[in-house]
């Protein structure tokens, strides 16, 4: 039975991969509709022939890697269960110590290590791809350092999460999912509070914006939007990437407005102010808090479904998967696999909500700055710097895009521009 499940798992993954290869490279049409040809959203008007070719090539390969990587994770957990690695990890943990919490940490270490070794090749391919297309400027040693930081940060958090999770499962086999969700609320808020000052600096250096004249303009814009900002931060990303970005993260007194130095190097002040107005919209419209609420709602549904699915799977195939019961630590790969599947399935919904919020932020930025030229040039430069597709395939948009497509963003500004001119002539 284990061989049969493993065979069908591999077969499903291969067929899934072939489908997305066919879809991305042979079926999906990324050309623009006739009415957009020659507009400011048409990449042929602001990218040269080589940039057009590279953006299509890079996007197709990157999208294929995205669609292959998540199901590969499911396949990894399935084979951990089928091949009995969970038994080996538990045995090694039991031989090392008698303390339950330390046993859990050791089990987690081995599971995390095997997952790291299994997924690193795909991560490296993604890194090498971005390097070959001149998106990444990061050295291999720097990339490997970030991967190892990821490993230890995730491992540290998993010790806490998994330790509490299985304690709850042992205490309440029926309602553990509800108690886990209730505890996740303060934990999520605590992590968001810590991220800007503890976690993010592990990867990059953050410091107050050096260009004080630009900072004054940004803070004046923040004051106009009634945002109590005192500092704008920049982060040294040029040693890692040529892509552009800016964001607001954190909550409460630890919230930050952050600009990548690549953005500062490639955009002029008007374009940067447009980006800042966009980011300020998230604060003004409380998108961060709506995002937290949405995440917590989805996690409640996700934990409930995970609990029910785990009970069913272990009840039916527990012997094959070598999981005696839900409260056994060997059920963790199954828990992670189901949760990952549910996150993937729910991503179209979360991306849809995110795209709506980003569109609102774009509209806010246009209304606030009234600088349509800066907005259009900013999105054109973002397309060039990231070799992005202006009009990505539908499935890519649904599963990958948390922002509107560049076609939608630039066209929205052009429409605003036209409507404004019509009003002025009346």
Q: Specify the pairing of strand 246-249 against strand 206-208.
A: unpaired
> Has residue 267 been placed in a domain?
no
Q: Catalytic residue numbers?
A: 279
In whole angstroms, give the CA distance from residue 399 to residue 393. Answer: 10
> Has residue 229 been placed in a domain?
no
pLDDT of res. 381: 93
> Has residue 276 been placed in a domain?
no
Secondary structure (H, E, C), the chain: CHHHHHHHHHHHHHHHHHHHHHHHHHHCCCCCCHHHCCCCCCHHHCCCHHHHHHHHHHHHHHHHHHHHHHHHHHHHHHHHHHCCHHHHHHHHHHHHCCCHHHHHHHHHHHHHHHHHHHHHHHHHHHHHHHHHCCCECCCHHHHHHHHHHHHHHHHHHHHHHHHHHHHHHHHCCCCHHHHHHHHHHHHHHHHHHHHHHHHHHHCCCEEECCCHHHHHHHHHHHHHCCCCCCCCEEECCCCCECCCCEEEECCHHHCEEEEEHHHHHHCCHHHHHHHHHHHHHHHHCCHHHHHHHHHHHHHHHHHHHHHHHHHHHHHHHHHHHCCCCCCCHHHHHHHHHHHHHHHHHHHHHHHHHHHHHHHHHHHHHHHHHCCHHHHHHHHHHHHHHHCCCCCCCHHHHHHHCCCCCHHHHHHHHHHHHHHHHHHHHC
> Has residue 230 been placed in a domain?
no
Give the chain's domain count.
Answer: 1
pLDDT of 237-259, one tens digit each?
888 898 888 877 766 666 777 88
User: Which residues 6+ apart lie within 8 Å of 253 measured at CB?
Assistant: none
Q: Specify the pairing of strand 256-260 against strand 233-235.
A: parallel
Class of residue 366 by CB neighbours under 10 A (exposed 0-12, middle 13-18, buried 19+): buried
pLDDT of res. 37: 86
The boundaries of the domain holding residue 47 are 2-204+286-425
- Spell out, as residue ranges, where the chain has pLDDT lower than 70: 229-230, 250-254, 421-426
pLDDT of 323-342, one tens digit each?
989 999 999 999 999 999 99
pLDDT of res. 254: 65
Q: How many CA atoms does the CB half-sphere of 263 hold within 13 Å?
A: 24
> Has residue 415 been placed in a domain?
yes
């Amino acid at each position: 039975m284990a061989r049969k499940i493993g065979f069908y798992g591999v077969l499903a993954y291969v067929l899934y991969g072939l489908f997305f290869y066919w879809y991305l490279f042979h079926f999906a049409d990324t050309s623009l509709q006739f009415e957009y040809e020659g507009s400011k959203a048409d990449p042929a008007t602001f990218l040269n022939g080589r940039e057009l070719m590279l953006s299509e090539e890079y996007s197709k390969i990157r999208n294929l890697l995205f669609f292959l990587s998540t199901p590969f994770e499911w396949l990894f957990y399935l084979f951990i269960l089928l091949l009995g690695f969970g038994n080996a990890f538990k045995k090694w943990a039991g031989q090392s110590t008698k303390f339950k919490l330390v046993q859990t940490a050791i089990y987690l270490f081995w599971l995390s290590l095997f997952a790291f070794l299994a997924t690193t090749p795909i991560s490296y391919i993604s890194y090498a791809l971005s390097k070959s297309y001149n998106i990444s400027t990061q050295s291999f040693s720097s990339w490997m350092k970030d991967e190892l930081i990821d490993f230890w940060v995730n491992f540290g958090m998993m010790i806490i999460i998994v330790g509490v999770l299985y304690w709850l499962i042992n205490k309440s086999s029926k309602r553990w999912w509800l108690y886990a969700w209730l505890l996740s609320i303060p934990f999520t808020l605590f992590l968001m509070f810590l991220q800007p000052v503890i976690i993010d600096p592990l990867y990059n250096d953050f410091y107050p914006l050096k260009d004080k004249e630009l900072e004054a303009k940004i803070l004046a814009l923040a004051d106009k939007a009634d945002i109590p900002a005192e500092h704008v931060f920049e982060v040294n990303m040029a040693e890692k990437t040529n892509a552009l970005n800016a964001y607001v993260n954190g909550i409460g007194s630890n919230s930050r407005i952050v600009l990548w130095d690549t953005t500062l190097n490639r955009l002029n002040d008007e374009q940067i102010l447009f980006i800042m107005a966009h980011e300020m919209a998230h604060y003004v419209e409380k998108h961060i808090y709506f995002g937290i609420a949405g995440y917590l709602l989805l996690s409640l549904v996700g934990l409930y479904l995970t609990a029910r699915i785990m009970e069913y799977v272990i009840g039916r195939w527990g012997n094959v998967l070598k999981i005696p019961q839900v409260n056994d630590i060997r059920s963790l790969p199954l828990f992670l696999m189901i949760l990952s599947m549910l996150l993937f399935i729910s991503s179209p919904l979360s991306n849809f909500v995110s795209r709506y919020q980003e569109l609102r932020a774009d509209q806010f930025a246009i209304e606030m700055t009234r600088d349509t030229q800066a907005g259009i040039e900013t999105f054109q430069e973002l397309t060039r710097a990231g070799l992005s597709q202006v009009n990505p395939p539908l499935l890519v948009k649904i599963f990958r895009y948390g922002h509107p497509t560049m076609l939608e963003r630039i066209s929205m500004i052009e429409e605003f521009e036209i409507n404004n001119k019509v009003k002025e002539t009346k």
